[in-house]
Chain A
């Protein structure tokens, strides 16, 4: 009795054909995405690496270990590190205040946090220089304490702090909004002080977001050019950032030198990003799971 249908010679009903992908356009859009990405980003970027291969290892090593290049890389990465740390501290403060408290003009303050995303870097550069120059509004005041900001490495840190702030605030805000206030309240009822509750309960939950904000702010700062060159003073060995050295080499038609520095910057940045990514996985595995 298993196959009565076949036995009587009736056709089996054809199963309703459901195509694998109902929506059209997968091939077209993915194809276009890949072609556009390859032509405008991947192939141009690979040009830097392929051109640097043509230098030969000896020449490449000579270029990137020249004292001026080392000094510029150390300055770029060092100043970016300090600026990103400043941004983590004050960015956490700003994000906390915006999420947890109410105060007058809060919406306006929240909107202005994005200013560094919206203001062109050249404008930020000349504005910060005007502020911190020895005769500027802040410069004149700082000079009375013997602190020079513009045309010193300190000026570079100021510009990089300006550029990186929104990355930290905008990464922290959604996480803080999601964070259960009840956990802190539970800590408080159990007798924890505000500081204890923050350090033991809030901070561990924020680590992954803090790392992400730090990484984004740092990555942006390492490559930053426009806002820095006006305020830096650009003295070789002292206040010359690596991107500026690339431009200087290009202006001297030293394409090999420019390419070699670019490769070192790209490799260092990518390696740092990978390291921070690994750290985030570790932090998420340990504290995450929210």
Chain B
């Protein structure tokens, strides 16, 4: 009877609560926390001076610079696209909208390796545009443009899919009011829409940036692995690791792990500012699916 009363009061008996929490924490500890911990332990295994030497190596710095450059191009491209797509999808009704949303999500269903492969098939020496590019001495594949293209492909949906539900929730009353008071379309966008969606925008940018800086598979296929020239940080980690230079590999990896922790902290902060952000994408997916049913 006591157990039933406890359940009725909305609390499960402690007999199931504690084991469930323990198993969940053990699982998360083994699968998530331990791998994170091992990165820092391995990076510092040979002392702080070895760590500093590894991350101040000029080749490592070239990789850091390239990673930052690629993200600095890819993220704004997807940002502009994300805002445009969200504006069209959230503020207007048109036929084929749910198909368009599915197509925007498509890159998530494609292996990163295939994302790299498609650009080799287009711009590689045997690709559709290979001959033209060779004649004009333009390098796309095995050079920085290819890395940027592959990165844009794999991070394509991030900002759009966060912004669409945010803009849908905002509705269009604010914009219509601004327009009726005589604001132009651009003024309305800069002064009304943008402030309304700023947290959602930052959220999308944060997630997009984390993936852009960390992408490995797609970039690995198109990079050509030229040390100091077309090696991003993740590719540099692979090379160091395959040379059995574990300390240096984990030292560079620790920088990316710090980036991941900063991303998680930023994400938590934005979710605290705007709690709806947390499950916006999942709920939007749920809603479109139910509308289809």
Contacts and interface: CB of A to CB of B under 8 A. Distances in A.
Interface string A160-171: 011001000011
A173 B120 contact: no
Contacts of A212: 285-286, 289
Interface residues of B, number: 108
A249 to B, nearest CB: 10
B8 A101 contact: no
A246 B115 CA distance: 11
A170 B234 contact: no
A23 interface: yes
Given A23-B172, A118-B263, A255 B113 contact: no
A121 B33 CA distance: 15
Nearest to A158: B31
Interface string A249-290: 010000100110010011001100100010011001100100
Contact of A181 (B10, B114, B237, B241): B10
B88 A246 contact: no
Interface string B114-130: 10011111101010100
A131 B126 contact: no
A230 interface: yes
Interface in B87-109: 87-89, 91-92, 94, 100, 103-104, 106-109
Contacts of A185: 7-8, 10
Interface of B is mostly: helix
Contacts, number: 300
A138 interface: yes
A115 B32 contact: yes
Contacts of A127: 35-36, 38-39, 42, 253
Nearest to B206: A118
Given A32-B81, A281-B293, A122 B216 contact: yes
Interface of A: 21-26, 28-30, 32-33, 36-37, 40-42, 44-45, 47-48, 51, 90, 93-94, 96-98, 100-101, 103, 107, 109, 111-124, 126-128, 130-131, 136-138, 158, 161-162, 165, 170-171, 173-175, 181, 184-185, 188-189, 191, 194, 197, 208-209, 212, 219-220, 222-226, 230, 243-244, 246-247, 250, 255, 258-259, 262, 265-266, 269-270, 273, 277, 280-281, 284-285, 288
7 contacts: A23-B91, A25-B88, A44-B122, A123-B257, A130-B250, A165-B31, A273-B109
Given A23-B172, A265-B114, 12 more contacts: A41-B107, A47-B128, A109-B25, A117-B210, A119-B36, A120-B256, A124-B35, A131-B34, A165-B31, A185-B8, A209-B286, A212-B286
